[in-house]
Amino acid sequence: MKRIIDRIGMHRVGLALALVGIALTVSGCGYNTIPTLEEQAKARWSDVQNQYQRRADLIPNLVATVQGYAAQEKSVLTAVVEARAKATQVKVDASQLTDPEKLKQFQDAQNQLSGALGRLLAVTENYPDLKSSANFLALQSQLEGTENRIAVARRDYIEAVRAYNTALRTFPTIIWAKTAFAGYKPLAELTATEGSEKPPQVKF
């Protein structure tokens, strides 16, 4: 009887060790890589959206401040307000990151807002009193900081997407991509818009 109990005990220990071995093998061969990288990319996208929202939140105060000194620049101010409204309406949640068209719409709206903001800041050069306003200087500084945060968030998202998309195409993770994670799709990438690195040309 004791031998039977001992054998059952040994069998259970052996089974437990086998399960541990399988778990280590699975984790070591990249099984967890794809979902982990996807979650990281989604988290980076959330950072991108948060920084763009931060910029959008600064704009009403910026427009109000500029308007106090340069109300005659109505068309420029209106363009910023309209571009902000459009940019905040275009939403891309994590479930839509595999749709390049959705991401393009988001980028286009944000790029239009960037252009409108660039024209607004260029116009402020004509108003020395505005440029010396403490409120304007503070808002301008916050906006510049936010633009830097946007650039970092975009870079981190691009890198996270590159790592995830690469995992879907390379060994050994491609094995899991074709089997256990067959429903996982490549994520759309953010791309630099042609000419976006140049400040908008403003003519008076």
* Domain residue limits, the chain: 1-30, 33-178
Instruction: Tell me the pLDDT tens digit for each residue of 22-76.
Output: 443 444 568 899 999 999 999 999 999 999 999 999 999 999 999 999 999 999 9
Confidence of residue 9 (pLDDT cuts 50, 70, 90): low
User: pLDDT digit string (tens) for 86-124?
Assistant: 999 999 999 999 999 999 999 999 999 999 999 999 999
How much is the pTM? 0.80
Pick among 1.20.1440.20, 3.40.50.300, 1.10.10.10, 1.10.1740.10: CATH of 33-178? 1.20.1440.20
Whether the predicted pLDDT of 201 surpasses 50: no
Q: Which residue has the tokens 């920084």?
A: 51
Nearest Cα residue to 72 out of 112, 137, 127, 140: 127
d(C-alpha 106, C-alpha 130), whole Å: 32
Indicate the DSSP class of residue 73. Answer: -
Determine contact, residues 97/45, Cβ cutoff 8 Å: yes
1 or 177, higher pLDDT? 177
Q: What is the mean pLDDT of residues 72-81?
A: 96
Encode burial over 14-36: b for 16+ CB neighbours within 10 A, e otherwise. eeeeeeeeeeeeeeeebbebbee
